[in-house]
Chain A
Amino acid sequence: MSMIQAINSALDVMMERDPDVVVMGEDVGYFGGVFRATAGLQAKYGKNRVFDTPITEIGIIGVAIGMGAYGLRPVPEIQFADYIYPALDQLVSEAARLRYRSAGEFIAPMTVRSPFGGGIFGGQTHSQSPEGIFTHVSGIKTVIPSTPYDAKGLLIAAIQDNDPVIFFEPKRIYNGPFDGHYDRPAKSWAGHPGAMVPAGYYRVPLGQARTVREGEALTILCYGAMEHVVESTVSEMGVDAEIIDLRTLVPLDIEAVERSVKKTGRCLIVHEATRTSGFGAELSALVQERCFYHLEAPVERVTGFDTPYPHSLEWAYFPGPVRIGEAINKIMRD
């Protein structure tokens, strides 16, 4: 299955299992979503459970909170993560804090699905990675899959979770993994081990990282589309790196991070989001606090630059094999 099919399958499985699950968002109903993630769901489950919405992200999330308070389990889609900002107040001040402020009287179970990240020439309005905004918020979970298998299992776990979850889907790898070489033909998911997706129900628990590759030389922490760029860069360089796909940023699998860095003594963090106050800064601080006496080299970050997402210069901005390779060399020299 491709990642899109896996996401569609997760929604299908959960709508089948739980009549409280509703899917809502711009163009998700009859049309099945601009990326086809919700294709066929309205025909199968009816308009009361899968419906198009007006173009107002404030409204989509506010309404989802009310539906969650009623007892439903909404899965709103924000068509692009770049358009989640109008909904920030409802997410940050309301959804994330409802359980706390009402001491558990009211909860807002919801899974906000949203395609994010670049590499598709989307310019600054279809390429951003705003996960660091949400990891900074108390009371909300942030989940980012990197394979079809994980996308389905994590999405099922997110929908079943009673806390609000931001589920960012790396759209660059919807239809195939991406090695970072933009000048090569696009790959499909066919034959990739992560694309072996069971048809039925299964969960990938939130808060558990995945060791993509075991190694001794250094630890590379990454998530989303970057996992594949890192993986191919490491294999091209022939370096014995341990690659950790975080999968969930909050709550973070700190044990996996700590165990790996203490073993290798070196740590590289890779994400596409801008550098300053990005989630990499948090990871770097945690590694420094917990693994300081095991470190052989400074913790390094390869990230997007602190600029708006460019259009024509996308491949200079996107953390690719060149930038990741340079960082690996630097860490190994130290």
Chain B
Amino acid sequence: MGDRGNSGAGMAGNEREQRRNLPPLRLHVPEPRFRPGDVADFSDLEIPAAGMMPRPDEGADAATMRDLAYGLVRVLDEDGQAVGAWDPKLPPETLLRMLRAMALTRAFDQRMFRAQRQGKTSFYMKSTGEEAVSVAAAAALASDDMCFPSYRQQGVLIARGWPIIDMMNQIYSNKGDRLKGRQLPIMYSAREASFFSISGNLATQYPQAVGWAMASAARGDTRIAATWCGEGSTAEGDFHSACIFASVYRAPVILNVVNNQWAISSFSGFAGAEATTFAARAIGYGIAGLRIDGNDALAVHAATRWAADRARANHGPTLIEHFTYRAEGHSTSDDPSAYRSADEGSQWPLGDPIARLKQHCIALGIWDEDRHAAMDKELAEEVRDAAREAEKNGILGHGLHHPMETMFEDVFEEMPWHLKEQQQAMLDEWKAAGL
């Protein structure tokens, strides 16, 4: 008797008998290589030497460069020398400007992380170890190229010279916050810096960036768009929708995937890293895919400039996987020691992006340890002074926020009756309560 009942698991007894010799099915659930207490060892990780990957022409057909999605574009070698076809040959002032912006980003992160721990704000997210991904990319783009960042690209704003005090006001949600205290800390928006409002919803910025780029193309503009998401977010439907749109319309957009190995406590295997690379996602869409050393500022700069030139010449989008490591927790609400080996970060074979660029500048003879130490001290003072200045506008939860009634503004261009009523009712209630 075949059971065609509710479970769907029914099977006639004799049918089951006949299949007895088949091996049972097994579900594969990925598991990261190291957990707390394990000794992290990345010696078997395939890291090609710097300078090994070819650099195709910006206009080359995506089908001719599939190897680049599986390799690793690297420029800085172990001795801090820039080698190979991808060396962007940047002038000293550009190198030092990038180094300073990366160091400022790190100093800013340290200061703001501490501010959250001191109870001055609710939340913070560091980008420690990933500074090259945003700073070097911003350096390679034009200042009016539109960036659609995720929440770990504060380096883009800093590299574009945005005032850090403005960012701090946003983090403190104080009366100086241009966003009127409406956004979670670090969800910046800076139209003047061509930096799109950050969302907490993962990968939503991806199709938005493609749409912006399509509009720019339809208008015969020269500006392009760039967007970033984490490797975990590539599982979102928005990511795939964006890729298909970018491919179909050859949108002038750079799609960055920051593969920092961890999505909160889920390692990259849960986004498909055991099966393929993230750059290889590009191949199925027929777009150029580059997998690069995300801790190598020169590789990031070179790949971004290549993708930008490609987009500007109407050759369409590029997907860049920045292979990097999230050196700290996901956010101030996260404790990575609970799920990953404590020495992963120190064992990470691609080193630290600031240390590597510093080594390169010293090797070129344009920088030295003393100047670097002096810069670090100067930047620490700069963020300290900016934080003190920002704190004069208030810190979260200490009353120096925008007036209560502003909660109802900007929901619509013009406030409809129901919001006016709710606004008035709230003010009346507070007044009646003597507050």
Contact = CB atoms under 8 A, between A and B. Distances in A.
A107 B196 CA distance: 11
A251 interface: yes
Contact of A106 (B196, B207, B213, B219): B196
Contacts of A102: 179, 189, 191, 197
Contact of B201 (A48, A67, A72, A89): A89
B245 A138 contact: no
A59 B411 contact: no
Interface in B85-118: none
Residue among B214, B242, B417 with max Cβ neighbours from chain A (10 Å): B214
Interface in B178-230: 178-180, 182-183, 187, 189-191, 196-197, 199, 201, 204, 206-216, 218-219, 225
A89 B204 contact: yes
Interface string B242-253: 101100100000
A59 B207 contact: yes
Interface in A53-71: 53-54, 56, 58-59, 61-71
A207 interface: yes
A104 interface: yes
Given A66-B210, A67-B211, A251 B416 contact: yes
Nearest to A22: B218
A66 B212 contact: yes
B32 to A, nearest CB: 28
Interface stretch (A28-36, A90-98, A215-223, A306-314): A90-98
A63 B211 contact: yes
A125 to B, nearest CB: 19
B241 A54 contact: yes
A105 interface: yes
B238 interface: yes
A56 B237 contact: yes
A138 B204 contact: no
A141 interface: yes
A102 B199 CA distance: 10
A162 interface: yes
A177 interface: no
A62 to B, nearest CB: 3
B233 to A, nearest CB: 13
Contact of A163 (B178, B196, B215, B412): B412
Contacts of B208: 62-63, 65-66, 69, 94
B38 to A, nearest CB: 37
Contacts of B199: 93-94, 101
B429 interface: no
B210 A63 contact: yes
A62 B196 CA distance: 14
Contact of A101 (B189, B218, B238): B189
A49 interface: yes
Residue among B199, B207, B211 with max Cβ neighbours from chain A (10 Å): B211
Nearest to A250: B416
Contact of A66 (B183, B190, B214, B219): B214
Interface in B151-203: 178-180, 182-183, 187, 189-191, 196-197, 199, 201
B28 interface: no
A99 B413 contact: yes
Nearest to A52: B248
A252 B215 contact: no
B410 interface: yes
A102 B196 CA distance: 9
B94 to A, nearest CB: 29
Interface residues of A, number: 47
A62 B214 CA distance: 12
A58 B416 contact: no
B211 to A, nearest CB: 3
Contacts of B214: 63, 66-67
Interface string B405-419: 000001111001110
Interface string A39-51: 0000000001100
B180 A103 contact: yes
B183 A101 contact: yes
A201 interface: no
Contacts of B218: 22, 48-49, 72
Interface in A9-37: 22
Contacts of B180: 103
Residue among A65, A102, A141, A250 with max Cβ neighbours from chain B (10 Å): A102
Nearest to A161: B413
A98 B201 CA distance: 12
A139 B178 CA distance: 19
A212 interface: no
A198 interface: no
B244 A138 contact: no
B413 A98 contact: no
A89 B205 CA distance: 11
A54 B180 CA distance: 37
B128 to A, nearest CB: 26
B189 A105 contact: yes
A62 B418 contact: no
B410 A104 contact: yes
A62 B212 contact: no
Contacts of A63: 207-208, 210-211, 214, 245
Interface in B309-367: none
A254 interface: yes
Contacts of B416: 207, 250-251
22 contacts: A22-B215, A56-B237, A59-B238, A59-B245, A62-B207, A63-B211, A66-B207, A66-B214, A67-B215, A68-B211, A69-B208, A70-B216, A70-B219, A71-B215, A72-B219, A94-B201, A101-B187, A101-B189, A103-B189, A103-B410, A105-B189, A139-B412
Please list the 10 inter-chain residue pairs (A to B) with the smallest Cβ-Cβ separation, ordered nearest first. A66-B211, A62-B207, A59-B241, A63-B211, A251-B416, A70-B215, A66-B212, A66-B208, A102-B197, A102-B189
Interface of B: 146, 148, 178-180, 182-183, 187, 189-191, 196-197, 199, 201, 204, 206-216, 218-219, 225, 237-238, 240-242, 244-245, 248, 410-413, 416-418
Given A62-B207, A66-B148, A99-B411, 7 more contacts: A58-B237, A62-B241, A63-B210, A89-B201, A98-B197, A101-B197, A139-B412
